[in-house]
Chain A
Amino acid sequence: MTALSRAARRHGPAVLFVAALLGAWQGLADLQVISPVFFPAPSRAFEELAFSASDGSLWTSAWATIKRMLGGWLLASAAGIVIGGAIGSSRTARDYLEPTLEFMRPLPASAIIPVAILFLGLSGSMALAVIAFGAIWPVLLGAAHGFATSRRGLRDVAAALEFGPVQWMWKFSLPAAMPDILSGARISLAIALILAVVTEMQASLPGLGYDIFMAQRSFRSAELYAGLIALGVIGFIVNHGLAMFERRVLSWREPQS
């Protein structure tokens, strides 16, 4: 009972706000200020969602987009941790890599798409490459910062226990950099979802982004909004999942801050 009322108190305002928003949307659509061809009522968008869920097309598209997003994000995270770790822990690596990276970082990932298409064609691997390129920066910078933070005390401990460089990385540096890496990874994940949708639209790859694009082109506005709702739900769930993972992995930080 108390848990229920606590949940109600905590999430009540947010639920109320969403309800009010949907109500306003429905009201505006019912007034038909804008033609329903461009602006469907939420009831129609949810009907469309339910329909595509029942015939399975929603799940196929959503899964394709999720796979693309996660694949690109994992690639970005792995590369970001390795490169960021190198920059953060080695002066030499930083001197070699940093200027180039600083040049590449401001490039919009969408501007990379034509280049990626030239090299990889209109393929899933092209999408992965673009997503990884665009999503790498937050993890990379987080890792670079996390690894660069000086930890002389821990270095002494590692030396006193005769740990070599590999064990220093694995047992000391990486876990110490974890908070910075994870906060970067969460931003990267949001970017990965954006780029998954963009590449689908640009390269006609199957997924929610392509569905939305096609719905817009053929004036099927209810379908378009259904796709947007699905994307929002995916982003929400994935972000929460990662936040929960972060809280678990970083539970040691809670008492201090």
Chain B
Amino acid sequence: MTEYLLLRHRNRGEENIADLDTYLSLGGFEAYEKVVTTMTPQEVIDIVKASGLRGRGGAGFPTGLKWSFLSDRFPRYVVANSDESEPGTFKDREIMEHNPFQFLEGLMICAYAAQAEVAYNYCRGEFWELTQVLESKVRQLNDRGLLGRRVFDTDYSLQINHHLGAGAYICGEESALLESIEGKLGQPRLKPPFPADRGLYQLPTVVNNTETLTNVPLIISRGPEWYKSIGTEKSCGPKIMCLSGHAKHPGNYETPLGITFRELIFDLAGGIRDDKALKAIMPSGASAPFLPASDEVLDTPLTYEDIPKIGSQLGSASIILLDETVDISWAALKTMKFFEHESCGKCTPCREGTYWMYHLLGRINSDKAEQADVDLLGEVAQQVVGKCLCPLGDFATSAVFSGIELFQNDFNSHIPDAVNGADNPNKNK
């Protein structure tokens, strides 16, 4: 891409856009002024709908549609989900550190569209220093009259507050996040009702991911048709791909949606560290199934619609690369340790299932397992999937099901008397 749209601080020749005057000199907050002074909330929602923007936090839900679901009650709230906790995700942090005003402008436009006069930015607690910086940015916006009472001499008023999480992955799930702002345990709510009807303090609420909101000022200023021209028909716009693990050059890569794994990994990120062979890809952090490093997979476009066709998800595009030296049963163990630790404990299948899957994977990895343990692992996963209030339980089973299916040898090799699949050409190819 010749021009960075989300990671705008990377555009050559530009000054520090985390500085308010610089951001303003580049047309910053013109989109916000335009919507507040010349457009109705419905017109803003219609433009975002027409742009095809989908949520970048993982679910890929159409953003404008989400905004249009708000119940006709007031007050309303808008919440930015900056909890960024999926293993392998580090994009929202770069946006907020280096391009904070574009994100805040997006949040402010969203708040206007929702007719919310209070917005919260929920940052994970570990973003302690970053949040202090963002709070100072918000104070600057208050001082300039872009936030506060009657902005641009209209009837619209808006304030932004920050709320820090305290180390709980589950607070990235929107209803758990709202519980957390309410001062409660971060445990997901039964849905419906959805936040658009009963969200923060049981009032209509929009929750959007940081990266999603960062797209919004561009959609307003350049138009939905321009935005739709980037990416594919069903996956529009730019996307920050977080590449980690065994990439030669890990980091954030902003590309149009629809770039293939091969282009991202080999053309942009220099391939695999130490020029080893790529074995597997986790396209959505710890939460989606492993993909084998086959040609079919490598030539698949990174879109919401194409990755499910090969058995996984785009999610928030937190792409973890595993080279040929990695034992997939170990990767599954690491993944399960995460979910065992992060299960909020509300739903029994997830709370107990992640605990037992973690211990079974530990037994396999310490070479103390029998074939029955691998079978039991699959059975426990079966008892978790589809039985919980939120997707965390399902996520936890992804590495188990796909790991055993695609890389059976990596599990069997730990079992002394297992029928080794090495002779079976269909296994572990």
- Asked whether A and B interact, the reply is no
Task: Name B's A-contacting residues (CB within 8 A).
Answer: none
Task: Name A's B-contacting residues (CB within 8 A).
Answer: none
